[in-house]
Structure 1
Amino acid sequence: MNRHSHWLVEQFRSGLTREQAAAAFQDLQSGLQRYQLWAVLGLYEIKQRYRRSRIGPLWITLSMGIFIGALGLLYGAILGQPLSEYMPYLAAGFLVWTFISSAVVEGAEVFLNAGGVIKQLNAPLSTYVYRLVWGNLIIFLHNLLIFITLALWFQVEVGLPTLFVIPGLMLLAINAVWIGLLLGLLSARFRDIPLMLKSGIQLIFFITPVIWSPDMLPGRPLLLTANPFYHMVEIVRAPLLGVMPSIASLMIVVAIAVIGCAMSLLFYSVYRWRIAYWV
């Protein structure tokens, strides 16, 4: 165990108290109650990215649509898949993947990017995590126009399973919150973590069935079952395509949410007060 890890463990053992846990929970609750603040900040941040553009945030959807179209034509031909099936599959999976990968990569920098504001504004630290998740949800819903267009064009069947998009997206949002809290805290202390995640998430993209489907990998179910990102993608992608998500995927994502929330709350209870000094 290196010096930094040993220090972190010792601080954790000596710092976890009932009072700190209560304060951390209060921070999460107070931040959630300030929904007007983080909702406005999330919208403002998106507008700022395109403030001098003529079409504004529509650039998000336009660029994503062009990318999905080019990727679909290329990989559809390479993999020998009919476009009527492959394009909606790719669009649904890529939109969900973008939300998940943004939660990981941007979540790791959530406190670092807000360092100046954290030192000046007396607001719950969880506010910045809620702002990030809310902003990514807006972008996801914005980009959903791409899938809707393709679904109408290729006549994707819509039925009762489609309604499961809502609970699936809620589960992803809950996971995005604990990911932002935990990775944001750790990255504030160890600055190499965001760089490692940016490299690692690219590798995970290729081993997760986003541009390829699970039936292209027969005989290797462990590669899918052991990949939590596959299950996260599947609980929203499947309903978008008019198919019920598997019970196994739902249970795995729920388990990830429960374990992740508990773990992030423990770390947040001990180190929350140090974040302002680390950033």
Structure 2
Amino acid sequence: MFRTRLGARHVGVALVGIGGVLGAVRFRSRRGVRKCRRSLRAERAGDESFDPGSVSALPAPARRYLEHAIDPGRPLARRVELTMAGEFRFGDRWCPFEAEETLAARRGFLWEPTVRLGPGLWFSGVDFYVDGEGGQRFFLDGLLPVVRAGGPAVDRSSAGRFLAESVWLPTSLLPAMGAEWETVDDDRARVSLPGVDEPLTLTVGGDGALRSVKTMRLDGGTGERRPFGAVVESERTVDGVTVPWEVEVGWETEAGEFEPFFRAELREAAFG
């Protein structure tokens, strides 16, 4: 009996110790997240406002898109704060999530989701790309570290995500923000952003509404560059800026089929 009680006591002490270590890891991670969030949220619109004449020389699809997405005279937002909800695919299962995101022009993004895996089981954390550095930090039930990723491959993959999500901040795709455009055809134009290796191809309707985006992105699962993109299901205008409101995001298979792994609908968008 004495041995049993002693063993249980030691196990309890060990678990408390492990909990303390995990708590310290979580604290350091959250402190870094707060620092990144403050840095991105420091980006604010200046005195410049959108002049449709500033995009008159761009390819026709780019001009239609930007004139549709940004109201004339609207201050050039440098940041957007998003809240969203949707589903994330794990194998054959779609799991619900809610998330907040900060995205800043020429800087990057910080995405903070909570994903429900089942009754009483969830994970949360952060996926980020800030000033050329990407990474993921995720915790099961808010405590147990399950993902801690970084390095050059993650940087490249995260840059691809940042590129695709820049359509949530259309002002970041203006020449005034360093964006460079080229024609693909009557319905598509390609844009390159400073510091991002790959360009993004936008498909635009005759009315200027964004239909889809596509780029080449490093797949963290396979280590290969693969076509990656999103289909825009609906859009909404908020404070003079029109953005995708419902999206389906995924990879393109070798057979050329779109395979979604992420569906989201925005709840709020606030520009700064």
Q: Same fold (TM over 0.5)?
A: no
Structure scoring higher RCO (CA < 8 A, sep ≥ 6) equals: 1
Give the helix-richer structure, 1 or 2.
1
- Which structure has the bigger radius of gyration? 2
User: TM-score by structure 1 length?
Assistant: 0.29
Give the strand-richer structure, 1 or 2.
2
